[in-house]
Chains A and B, each alone.
Chain A
Amino acid sequence: MSDFRPAASLEMLQRRAELLRQIRRFLHDRGFLEVETPLLSHDVVVDRHLDPIPVTLYDDARQPNVGPTLWLQTSPEFAMKRLLASGATAIYQICKAFRGGGETGPRHNPEFTMVEWYRVGDDYAAGRRLLSELAEATLHRGPATQQTFRDAFLQHAGVDPLAATLDELLAVATERALLSAADAERFRADGDRDAVLDLLLTQLVEPHLGVSAPTIVYDYPASQAALARTSADDPRVAERFELYVDGVELANGYHELLDPSVLRERNSRNNAGRVADGKPPLPIESRLLSAMDQGLPTCSGVALGLDRLLMVATGAQSIREVLAFPIDLA
């Protein structure tokens, strides 16, 4: 094939290397240990909307479809938490993460680079503070302002994301011309309130986030807790936070969930959602759950998309500009 050349310029690859050095220095200076965990694992994050890529680990090369199914990791989260449960205190990793399900677009490539870190003893506020410091050190645009998910919605979408009913959220979407009447009917029939929140978030709220300075949005709806603990003060929200710069979602962090029974329950609910979407369920049990059964220490962790961080640092409009070989050239 003739198109062997990279999508990113060599100058951009230099910027990428500098950014990687900056991040490693930042975390090393704070006592974080760099670790490597498997990209190919028996375990996988169970999420309704994350589609991991299965790989058959065959023994007999003449029968490459026969063998146990392993998963390319959607993030190194499970393995890193197993290290925390085994005595590690502050760890980070820079690795590739993979997502199936057609995640290709101006801000998506099925294979991308993730920076992920965890520190034992960090509470919710400490987790956000460290993320803000890293954003400041790499982007030089000041510390992050902090805004609750609810306030961001009230300000930019004019609706309370914790209190509004599905119909009220759909009314906002149709008033703001995000959905036709026919679209709204399909979303109503699905009965998935979070899908409408995702629509309002991406179309009305996100474009305003992190424009003058980096913004950390926190207190996500409990229905979108993922692997964050639910707030003890307000059961409607989870202790989950995200970093935005120039309207681009850069990082996702949790005050980590420690209770294995809650994770099992969430895994079952996610699998029910996957089945409702016509997708196969994912294995609920994992070595992470075994680690949590033993006891995971209190910690906070963040996953940051390196490619997107490089995009906002350089003003790139498409993820293609920062990747040597995006998926179509891979």
Chain B
Amino acid sequence: MGTYKTSDFRKGLKVQIDGEPWQMIEMNFVKPGKGNALYKCRLKNLIRGTTLDRVYKGGDTLESADVEEIEVQYLYKAGDTFVFMDNSTFEQYELSSVQVDDMWKWLKEGMVCNVMLFNGQPISLTPPQHVHLKVEYCEPGARGDTATNVTKPVKLETGAEILAPLFINIGNVLKIDTRTGEYVERTST
């Protein structure tokens, strides 16, 4: 495990504090002409997503975190566990429903996602930025109404419910932005 000196501090650095992985999302170097070099850092917890502000003095060190992101395929859900596989090594990774959090809404079997590993253990999931999911149920579409600003709830094949325009019908395939959870467009009827 390596260490980072304050001179290595920069945005994006992944470090370990109290046994947890954090990413430096902001770093400000301040120094009075005749004074201490101070590094104001905002860190994001890579497991819980919480943020933390810390100030370090020149010469302080932080331990590097062994964090890597790998591409995996979603296989299936068993009870509270989501199972993924690295198609190049056939290694399987399990994430709990707590770790997957809201992202279950966009998970379809066979979908390729990113999983973050900390010391080789999966800690979080990032689905593709856009997913294409079929509408399982909604109130009938209003023919000819092409307005996209008036919406209704629709239920997707994954069980998730989102808001979509009135003209959407059962069986339509919708493109969804997973970062916002919002409807983008209809890609097939």
Q: In the complex the two chains form, is B31's CB within 8 Å of A49's CB?
A: yes
How far is B56's CA from A182's CA once the two chains are assembled, in angstroms?
Answer: 11
Q: In the complex the two chains form, is A249's CB within 8 Å of B54's CB?
A: no
Docked complex: A193-211 residues within 8 A CB-CB of B: 194-195, 197-199, 201-203
Nearest CB of A to B3, in Å: 13
Please name the residue on chain B nearest to A104 by beta carbon: B29
Nearest CB of A to B38, in Å: 6
How far is B54's CA from A199's CA once the two chains are assembled, in angstroms?
Answer: 12
Q: In the complex the two chains form, is B53's CB within 8 Å of A49's CB?
A: no
> Main SS of chain B's interface residues?
mixed
A101-B7, A180-B52 known; A194-B36 Cβ under 8 A:
yes
9 pairs from A and B in contact (CB 8 Å cutoff): A47-B34, A49-B36, A102-B7, A103-B37, A105-B29, A180-B54, A183-B55, A195-B36, A305-B33
Q: In the complex the two chains form, is B55's CB within 8 Å of A199's CB?
A: yes
How far is B52's CA from A252's CA once the two chains are assembled, in angstroms?
Answer: 34
Q: In the complex the two chains form, is A49's CB within 8 Å of B55's CB?
A: no
Number of interface residues of A (CB under 8 A): 38
Please name the residue on chain B nearest to A75 by beta carbon: B33
Question: Does B32 sit at the interface, judged by CB under 8 A?
Answer: yes
Please name the residue on chain B nearest to A277 by beta carbon: B59
Question: Does B70 sit at the interface, judged by CB under 8 A?
Answer: no
Question: Does A125 sit at the interface, judged by CB under 8 A?
Answer: no
Question: Does A179 sit at the interface, judged by CB under 8 A?
Answer: yes
Chain A residues in 8 Å Cβ range of B60: 186
How far is B28's CA from A194's CA once the two chains are assembled, in angstroms?
Answer: 20
Contact with B along A73-115 (1 / 0, CB 8 A): 0000000000000000000000000000111111110000000
- What 13 additional pairs, Cβ within 8 angstroms, besides A107-B30, A224-B34? A49-B58, A105-B31, A180-B52, A195-B38, A198-B32, A199-B36, A199-B55, A203-B30, A224-B35, A242-B33, A249-B32, A252-B33, A278-B59
Please name the residue on chain B nearest to A198 by beta carbon: B35
Chain A residues in 8 Å Cβ range of B57: 187, 190, 195
Contact with B along A205-229 (1 / 0, CB 8 A): 0000000000000000000101000
Q: In the complex the two chains form, is B7's CB within 8 Å of A199's CB?
A: no
Chain B residues in 8 Å Cβ range of A1: none
Q: In the complex the two chains form, is A102's CB within 8 Å of B6's CB?
A: yes
A101-B7, A102-B7, A278-B59 known; A252-B54 Cβ under 8 A:
no
Question: Does A61 sit at the interface, judged by CB under 8 A?
Answer: no
Question: Does A177 sit at the interface, judged by CB under 8 A?
Answer: yes
Docked complex: B30-88 residues within 8 A CB-CB of A: 30-38, 40, 52-55, 57-60
How far is B112's CA from A116's CA once the two chains are assembled, in angstroms?
Answer: 61
How far is B60's CA from A192's CA once the two chains are assembled, in angstroms?
Answer: 14
Nearest CB of B to A241, in Å: 12
Question: Does A130 sit at the interface, judged by CB under 8 A?
Answer: no
Nearest CB of B to A167, in Å: 17
Chain B residues in 8 Å Cβ range of A183: 54-55
Question: Does A27 sit at the interface, judged by CB under 8 A?
Answer: no
Chain A residues in 8 Å Cβ range of B29: 102-106, 108
Nearest CB of B to A287, in Å: 22
Please name the residue on chain A nearest to B29 by beta carbon: A105
Chain B residues in 8 Å Cβ range of A279: 59
Question: Does A178 sit at the interface, judged by CB under 8 A?
Answer: yes
Q: In the complex the two chains form, is A198's CB within 8 Å of B55's CB?
A: no
